[in-house]
Amino acid sequence: MFDVAIIGGGLAGLVNAIHLSQAGLKILILEKNDYPKHKVCGEYISKEVLPYLEKLGINPFEIGATSINKFLLSIPNGTQIQTQLPLGGFGISRFTLDHFLYQKSLSHGCVVVKTTVQKIDFLGEKFKVSTREGKEYFATFVIGAYGKRSALDIHLNRDFIQKKTPFLAVKSHYTGDFPNDLVALHNFEGGYCGVSKVENDFINVCYLANYKTFKRYKSIEIFQQEVLCENPHLKEIFSVMKPAFPKPLTISQVSFSPKKTIEHHILMSGDTAGMIHPLCGNGMGMAIHSAKLLSGLLIQFFEKRIKDRHSLEKAYIKAWKLTFQKRLRAGRLLNTFLANQKLLNVGIHGLRPFPALLPFIIKQTHGEELI
């Protein structure tokens, strides 16, 4: 019997595991993939999470992260605006970061099982977690940290899974010249593409595109040539830089619909609880922050400072809303603005004489430093 079983060993799952195991709790992580593994992600993390990570003994610069403090936004005709980031961030690949966190969780005594979770049953005071191979695990609490979308959401009959999701995402690493300290967001018809450095001088190029626009083209290559390369910044990237992957990674069905923080007593963390638009560059920061909130409350429960499961659930829902609801709303608003070429055109020209306004807008989708 485990104190906490964590479904999904991505960023939220692993940070929860490290935090909880440091408090002496017995932790099980169930993850369907091997480590290390590349993931579709812009790989720019807001520095707001650094003090918390350092407290957990995690220093991303030890594993090669690059420090980023400048932001550039461009529109399809090439008009650009550049500014200093309020807090800044760092670039590190999920390949390296998740693997590092995985090893850290093992060193703290967490049990990690490679399997796909198929079913979670709440039996009153404990959970039964069933895997694809028919194995069963028991735990007092279950954390759902299985990312933005999983077959488990269908099993749990979650509301958002019924809704159509019109986005797909593509990512590859490249070699070439790109400033170490810059994150660029280049707009194109029906989407936007992030570009920034990660460890070992690799350049992450990751874009989110509307499926309606994408399906008019036969392949990723043609789509990139005909749509993304309309923007001269992206044209230069795709013509000069060399891909480091044999072929780009893709995902579809990216959903930004609101989700419930708790379902069937399962405590959701990271994207499983709610996902901010990737253009905000704060999904990973939120995943890490949500792990801090949840782990803190679970530790209080095991130390008998929270009296029962019901009080813990109420406290988590309240803390999650208070911390993230405003950011998610700002992210949705920003996405609506970026998706509308006319609005964006006017906006970027309006902002050019006042670049200091851009950090203010970015701040609305980020939080304070996590102490």
Ligand X SMILES: Cc1cc2nc3c(=O)[nH]c(=O)nc-3n(C[C@H](O)[C@H](O)[C@H](O)COP(=O)(O)OP(=O)(O)OC[C@H]3O[C@@H](n4cnc5c(N)ncnc54)[C@H](O)[C@@H]3O)c2cc1C
* Contact flag: residue 144 with ligand X (CB under 6 A): no
- Least distance from ligand X to the Cβ atom of residue 282, Å: 5
3-state DSSP call for residue 72? Answer: strand
Is the bond into 36 cis (omega within 30 degrees of 0)? yes
Q: For residue 13, which of 133, 110, 90 has the smallest C-alpha distance?
A: 110
Residues 178-197 that bind ligand X (CB under 6 A): 194
* Residue-by-residue DSSP string for 42-71: --EEEGGGHHHHHHTT--GGGGT-EEEEEE
State the DSSP code for 263: E
* Nearer Cβ to ligand X (101/306): 101
Q: For residue 319, which of 258, 264, 251, 269 has the smallest C-alpha distance?
A: 269
Joined tokens for residue 103: 């090893």
Residues 145 and 188 sit within 8 Å (Cβ to Cβ): no
State the CB neighbour count (10 A cutoff) for residue 273.
Answer: 26
* Contact flag: residue 254 with ligand X (CB under 6 A): yes
Residues 66 and 346 sit within 8 Å (Cβ to Cβ): no
Q: How many residues bind ligand X, per CB under 6 A?
A: 40
Contact map string, positions 199 to 238, toward ligand X, x by CB under 6 A: -------x-x------------------------------
- Least distance from ligand X to the Cβ atom of residue 350, Å: 26
Joined tokens for residue 316: 């988590």
* Nearer Cβ to ligand X (53/254): 254
* Contact flag: residue 323 with ligand X (CB under 6 A): no
Residue type, 23: A
* Nearer Cβ to ligand X (60/306): 60
* Contact flag: residue 241 with ligand X (CB under 6 A): no
* Nearer Cβ to ligand X (279/306): 279
Tell me the residue nearest to ligand X as measured from the CB. 10
* Contact flag: residue 161 with ligand X (CB under 6 A): no
3-state DSSP call for residue 153? Answer: helix
Residues 263-302 that bind ligand X (CB under 6 A): 270-272, 275, 278, 281-285, 287
* Nearer Cβ to ligand X (96/282): 282
Q: For residue 5, which of 183, 131, 194, 173 has the smallest C-alpha distance?
A: 131
Task: Return the residue of 5, 17, 27, 31 that touches ligand X, per CB under 6 A.
Answer: 31
Residues 189 and 76 sit within 8 Å (Cβ to Cβ): yes
Task: Return the residue of 6, 20, 27, 45 that touches ligand X, per CB under 6 A.
Answer: 45
Joined tokens for residue 361: 């807008």
Tell me, letter by letter, the H, E, C secondary structure of 216-243. CCCCHHHHHHHCHHHCHHHHHHHHHCEE
Task: Return the residue of 3, 6, 43, 76 that touches ligand X, per CB under 6 A.
Answer: 43
- Least distance from ligand X to the Cβ atom of residue 91, Å: 9
Q: For residue 33, which of 122, 98, 77 has the smallest C-alpha distance?
A: 98
Task: Return the residue of 27, 58, 145, 330 that touches ligand X, per CB under 6 A.
Answer: 145
Residue type, 318: K
* Nearer Cβ to ligand X (40/312): 40
* Nearer Cβ to ligand X (160/345): 160
Task: Return the residue of 150, 172, 231, 255 that touches ligand X, per CB under 6 A.
Answer: 150
Q: Which residues pair with 127 in a beta bridge?
A: 122, 139
* Contact flag: residue 367 with ligand X (CB under 6 A): no
- Least distance from ligand X to the Cβ atom of residue 117, Å: 4
* Contact flag: residue 127 with ligand X (CB under 6 A): no
Joined tokens for residue 133: 């191979």
Binding site for ligand X (CB under 6 A): 7-13, 30-33, 40-45, 116-117, 145-147, 150, 152, 169, 194, 206, 208, 254, 270-272, 275, 278, 281-285, 287
